[in-house]
Amino acid sequence: MKIFRAYKTELAPDDVQIAALYNHAGAARFAYNWGLEWKSNVHEYNQLPHPRLKTPTAVDLHRELNRLKEGKLSWMYEVSKCAPQEALRDLDAAFSNFFAHRAGPPNFKSRKRGVGSFTLYGAISVRPAEIHLPRIGWVRLKEHRYIPSRAHINSVTVSARAKRWYVAVNVVEERKEPVTPPGPAVGVDRGLNSLAVVSDGTVLENPRVLRRYERKLRHLQRNLSRKKKGSSNRRNAREALARLNMRVRNTRLDPIQKFTTMLAKTKPVIGVEDLDVKNGRCLGRDLEAAAIQDPLVRVHPNHGGQVVPLDEEVLEVRAREKGCDAPRGAHLPL
């Protein structure tokens, strides 16, 4: 069967390529904000009692943007046409979700909140240690032989976080039907002292990453607040804080992803109980550290299994933990 899958890995660009990546991200951000202003003005104009104007689509905006490239926006010829074009399509989707009451109104994209991302398609190819991006060239990958070189590539999305660049490659793969792993069905109870307790006795302890880096985070945040706005020292302090926040995030996700992958490969049916904690205001840091966004839902179907959401009355998993008087045992009527 054919499936759509994304492979995300880190890039290792040189100085010239980093400048090109920044230019593409800036062009995508500019096109999005430019289209947002245009569509917002038309929407506000149509609220008045006079003949309505047609709301421009992504095609209309891209056509007008191409006309402006011949004049004051000639700098956009330095980047691929895909970056602004896909940004305008994303803006169209954002307005569609807003009018359908699925999301809030689109917001202005500020460079202060991050470089952002951009999407490319077309002449994209992959080698074991590098990837070819339109108008940028061959860029080295930090993880070799991870992205399949023979799969059909639909598009790539390049993003930045803490001055590190990542590429997500959307491919179409031929994959055999997954075989359901043998074994009994299990239930997973998410908690605070332990991130997850499986009915067969397996326990994922809470690493409490935020508490480990709490002192250093306070120091960097205090250091950032003392810097003058707009100065180079403030920019450097903000980048140092972003790097530490990324380390906290990656350290928190690593055991969760390994644990859920292990369950997906070895358990045919997994019942997941929602986390229900009273007085969560006093346990704010523990709740943040114990946040699991159900990666099982994304991983388990690829291995032939099934994830069943269960409420507290259906699933009861109790395990002895430190400071807990509950007896060890499990009751799982599936």
**How far is it, in rounded angstroms, from Cα 81 to Cα 160?**
20
Phi and psi of 289, rounded to 5°? Answer: -70, -25
Beta bridge partners of 194: 205
The label of the residue with tokens 């399949």 reads 148
Mean pLDDT of 141-168: 93
> Are 147 and 169 in contact, with CB atoms under 8 Å apart?
yes
**Per-residue pLDDT for 50 more than 80?**
yes
**Helix, strand, coil fractions of the chain, as percent rounded to 5:** 40, 25, 35
Q: Which residues contact 169 (CB under 8 A, 6 or more apart)?
A: 6, 7, 8, 124, 126, 131, 147, 153, 156
Per residue in 104-130, pLDDT (tens digit) is 999 999 988 889 999 999 889 999 999
- At residue 333, the pLDDT reads 42
109-118, 159-168, 284-293: range with highest mean pLDDT: 159-168
Read off the pLDDT band of 81 (50, 70, 90): very high
> Are 275 and 191 in contact, with CB atoms under 8 Å apart?
yes
Beta bridge partners of 158: 118, 167
State pTM to two decimals.
Answer: 0.81
Share of the chain above pLDDT 70, in %: 84
